[in-house]
Chain A
Amino acid sequence: MASVDTAQHQPTPTGGAKPARGVGPARAVELIVWAWRMLASAQFAIALIGCLVVAGLLAVLLPQVPVQIRNNPAAIDAWLVLREDSFGPFTEPLHRMGLFNVVAAWWFLSALGLLAAAITVYVLDRFLDVWRNVTQPRRQVPDSFFERAANRVALPSAESGEAGARQIEAILSKRRFRVRRVARGDTVYLFADRFAWAQFGNFATHIALVLFLVGGLVSYLGGYTNALLIAEGTASPIFAVSHPNQMQIEVLDAVAAFDATGSPLDYRSELVIYQGGEEVARGTTTVNDPLLYGGYRFHQGGYFGEGAALRVRDVATGNTLYAEVLALTGLVPAPVIVVRDAGGNVLLDAAIVPTDLIEDVRGSLIAVPGTGREFWVGVRQDDEDGPGSAGAWSLVVFDRGQTDAGFVLTGGETLRADGLEWTFVEAIGLPALVSAGLPGDSDRTQTVLSQTPDGTPFVTVLGAVDDSAMTLFPDQPVVVDGREYVFEGRREFAGIEVRRDPGANLIWVAAGLLVAGLVVTFYLPRMRLWARVRDDEAVVAGLAERRGVFQSEAEHLRKELEAARMDGNPEIEMPGGDMND
């Protein structure tokens, strides 16, 4: 769009006598102005960035308090004691200066805040000038500018004066310039501006920097992360005790899929979220597709498949005395054996759950079906072959009726003895846990999970009653001393990571603004041209972010004008019609 200015708006300059001010207010104003100028200074921002870089280097060079213990003063004290080996008497002063926790140190956070303030002030301080420059650009320049400008070129013109100016104006309009024309006597002045708004690209990048800092601060102050391991059929709160936003997560089902090699293919869980005594959300969560509620993300963060649900009731009242789902995170070694009779028929094919420890052999007394005979079968790890290598496992077997007639087998070995053929297939680890609280005779019990050859899970509880072993199959209670022990079944655990990151969206917007600002700044540069057309000459001078841009535009303008002159057609069609008047 082009237009003709017949009269320039002349703003009334501000001025007049300065208002009388007292010493106090004057100093206050001066202080504010001084602070504003300091914050608006690029040098100040660069100095701050330099300080932050140095702080970052210190954080790399000096050991930092682990994230897990940063809210635990006692743990921090213990951690500092270990640092005294390296830093001696300087340990405490370094800690007081925050050098062992740089990113949380008050001076580091203050510097970040100051940097955000500096960038904000920098933007505000320059915004007015840029805004005026974009919306009220200088449309006329002195004639001397056409003689001295670094970017200037004399152009051939098919026409002179007003006609020549219209010719140039038409060409520039087609090149997306916004053109304004002013006539003074025989001379016509043109002002052409393109991508004026591109100057705001620089602001976008600065606002992006502020948003990055604000986003980081918001996440630091308002973010929340907690990892929970929750068994199927149970619930867990996301905060330690009570909280205004307290929620409970119930895991209805935890599912894991594995490939043939045992590598996990997929984890997912069915969750229900409760808040304030009501169900507020329900759905499936996976690693990459969390369940969302209340600004929190409930990610599947892990899976554990070896859990056992145990319950103990008082037989007299029916009241529950104990109800836990145990995560069997330990392992106990167990031999897998196959016992055949003389005819080759399999009498026993199972992993033997160890219930005793005799010297260094873990084993159990078992009955071999169909023989009426009992054997004590155990497994032992031989001495290591050398540093770093685990010893091989051996099967140890004693006939209960002939305790002096035992034998030892190595892995994969088969032996015939007294009409039975014994094969030691391998030693495996069975999921197990030593825990407290199970009603019985002992404070501590060991629970071992195994399964029958047909896949039925069962647990062996050691030490609950008379320091002996108790085997529990699903929903087959065992009553001892007026207590009913029930194995309610195998349970899986879902690792749920609860996250709230209020700064994440700020970071995304900041990244978008940064990219947009850089693209605009580098690929859509602003360009301003001033043209003076007289009877005998047409001179174009300009300002461009890059000299090559001006030269390219000038060359294009020159070619168009030459082509028009060669064609003898001075009139070039105006895009959208002639709107000069």
Chain B
Amino acid sequence: MADQQPELDGVEEAPRRSWAGAFRSLVLPLGLLAVILGGLWYWDTRDDGPGIDDGGYGTVELPESRNVTGRSPAVETGRAAPDFLLQTPDGGELRLSDLQGQPVLVNFWASWCSPCRAEMPELVAAYERHRDNGLVIVGVNLQETDGQVTSFAEDFGVDFPLVIDRDGELSDVWRLGGPIEGIPTSYFIDASGVIRALFYGPMQDQDIEERLAEIMPGSSA
């Protein structure tokens, strides 16, 4: 980048650097770079979708009156289950804390998940066995369409409530799959809203019954 200058013999000096000049000279190349980067950003994101709008659904604050533990909700055994408000595929709503007073099994699943498909008949059968004892199973679908969820439910004969986590927010809150981060993952919540057991991976009949026994004392589970 050497710039040639004629030798000087005391003829007029070029204007000396001033802060204003320096500012202008810095702004120009940085501005040019900003324009390039901004243009690239626009080009790169011009066909981006609008993103996922969860419409205000997702994790909500658990009312203090419904937290019997006195500690903040967390996905651990012995802690109050984090509350959520989600939409059902038919446009309705379901809030987890509204189910207090009943034992609840929260199961995270997706139709593209092969182990979830293998597990679903076991959940359907368990629900048939224990629904009269008050058991509620809530199937939380991960980010699929209403049609995919409804079709899956019809195929597998699912008649317990299904809700959809549109933006995947609950995945982090509920730490799906624990260290291996996967589904299906199931949480067993007693009638007071406290998590008593959890299970990572597809459950067999025995796995379900053993854990239901912890949230349904006195039942045949």
Interface of A toward B, CB cutoff 8 Å: 8-11, 13-14, 122-124, 126-133, 136, 138, 140-145, 148-149, 199, 202-203, 206-207, 210-211, 234-237, 240-246, 248, 274-281, 292-295, 314, 317-324, 437, 502, 505-506, 509, 530, 541, 543, 545
Contacts and interface: CB of A to CB of B under 8 A. Distances in A.
Given A207-B33, A243-B168, 14 more contacts: A124-B26, A130-B1, A131-B28, A132-B14, A142-B10, A241-B181, A242-B168, A248-B112, A248-B148, A294-B49, A319-B155, A321-B121, A506-B40, A543-B5
Interface SS majority for chain A: mixed
B91 to A, nearest CB: 11
A278 to B, nearest CB: 7
13 contacts: A11-B16, A124-B26, A132-B14, A142-B9, A241-B176, A242-B143, A242-B171, A246-B52, A248-B148, A319-B121, A319-B156, A321-B121, A543-B4
A-B pairs, 6 with minimum CB distance: A242-B168, A242-B171, A319-B157, A276-B52, A142-B9, A11-B15
B71 interface: no
B145 A278 contact: yes
Contacts of A130: 1, 3
A391 B32 CA distance: 69
B12 A10 contact: yes
Nearest to A510: B36
B36 A509 contact: yes
B132 interface: no
A241 B47 contact: no
Interface string B12-49: 10111110011001101110110011001001110111
A543 B6 contact: yes
A436 to B, nearest CB: 9
Given A202-B1, A277-B143, A235 B112 contact: yes
A237 B143 contact: yes
B209 interface: no
A236 B148 CA distance: 12
B183 A140 contact: no
A133 B40 CA distance: 31
Size category, B interface: 35 or more
Nearest to B30: A124
Of A9, A11, A128, A502, the most chain B CB neighbours within 10 A belong to A128
B52 to A, nearest CB: 4
A244 B167 contact: yes
B208 interface: no
B203 to A, nearest CB: 14
Which secondary structure characterizes the binding site on chain B? loop
A141 B12 CA distance: 8
A126 B172 contact: no
Contacts of A295: 44-45, 47-48
A14 B155 CA distance: 83
Contacts of B12: 8, 10, 138, 140
B53 interface: yes
Contact of B48 (A128, A149, A294): A294
Nearest to B9: A142
B7 interface: yes
A248 B143 contact: yes
Contacts of A505: 40, 43-44
B112 A509 contact: no
A242 B109 CA distance: 11
A237 B53 contact: no
Contacts of A314: 121, 157
A237 B49 contact: no
B49 A136 contact: no
Contacts of B29: 123-124, 127, 203, 207
A543 B177 CA distance: 71
Contact of B14 (A123, A138, A142, A243): A138
Given A127-B26, A293-B47, A321-B121, A241 B171 contact: yes
Chain B CB count within 10 A is highest, among A8, A199, A506, for: A506
B9 A277 contact: no
Nearest to B7: A145
B168 A323 contact: no
Contacts of A280: 49
Contacts of A317: 157
Nearest to B142: A242
Contacts of B17: 14, 128
A132 B21 contact: yes
Contacts of B76: none
Nearest to B18: A14
B170 A128 contact: no
A143 B40 CA distance: 51
Contact of B166 (A131, A140, A276, A502): A276
Contacts of A142: 8-11
Nearest to A214: B37
Contact of A320 (B40, B52, B53, B157): B157
Contacts of B201: none
B15 A240 contact: no
Contacts of A323: 117, 155
Contacts of A13: 16
Nearest to B177: A241
B117 A277 contact: no
A268 B22 CA distance: 56
Interface in B150-164: 155-157, 164
Contacts of B26: 124, 127-128
B151 to A, nearest CB: 11
Q: Which of B29, B33, B54, B182 has the most CB of A within 10 A?
A: B29
A320 B155 contact: yes
Contacts of B62: none
A274 B148 CA distance: 11
